[in-house]
Amino acid sequence: MGVEDLLKKSGVMKGNEATRCLETYPTGFDLLNQALLGGGWPKTGLVEISLSKPNCGALRLMMPLLVKLSQEGKWIILINPPHTPLFSEWVREGVILSNVLVIDFPETDEDIEKKYLWAYEQALKFHGCGIALFWCDELAIGKTRRLKLSAESGETLGLILRPSIYRRHPLAASSRLQLDIIPKDPECVEPREYAPLSLKVTHIKGNGAPNKQEYILTV
């Protein structure tokens, strides 16, 4: 059987056809849409976001998508967030809070990492979930492959947010981004007042080295 015969079979496509078939959500930021494969956040699969500090405006970056998904009746699931989101501002942005679930186990729980990983996997498998965000540290590549399959099974977008020191240990993610705040606040704490925030978004290559392309976004 030649290549031409193989291409006629179902389930086989060229790389450029796979790109065209990638379904995405607009990010709400033109520069970021242009940078991401398919023109936005993938509707299915994993995205890794490396954070220079725990609260570097990641939720602000995702807000246009969170609004869209909640208004479509899809679940937004936050797992082990570094702080309680400022939900009053989420409401002002248009997020429907009845579609938001926060999973935050007590630090005294035994096997807490396994519990969070299990909860994330269940969220990714759940067809009613639009996006599941998981804040964590190191993850074994084998575990992220399993999470990727769960996201594909549930047709869910999974975000893994972790400190940038781990970016040289890439995950099985379709996109990898580095997020830095352009500081007014050197502690990089999520502002309690929703004043405009400037973020630097950088693509990460497979070996963890920053790509030369950087994007400055106001969120």
pLDDT, one tens digit per residue, over 111-125 is: 888 999 999 999 999
Q: What is the pLDDT of residues 192-215, one digit of tens each?
A: 445 667 888 887 655 555 555 777
Residue that the structure tokens 């065209």 belong to: 20
Q: What is the pLDDT of residues 129-141, one digit of tens each?
A: 999 999 998 877 7
The answer to whether the CB of 187 falls within 8 A of the CB of 219 is no
Name the DSSP letter for residue 209: P
Domains and CATH numbers, the chain: 25-218 (3.40.50.300)
Q: Quick one: which of 141, 133, 160, 131 has its CA closest to 67?
A: 131
Q: What is the pLDDT of residues 66-97, one digit of tens each?
A: 999 999 999 999 999 988 898 999 999 999 99
pLDDT at 20: 42
| Whole-prediction pTM | 0.81
Could you give the CA distance from residue 144 to residue 203 in angstroms, rounded to a whole number? 19
Whole-number percent of the chain with pLDDT over 70: 78
- Pairing of β 41-42 and β 24-25: antiparallel
Whole-number percent of the chain with pLDDT over 90: 43
In Å, the largest CA–CA distance within the chain is: 63
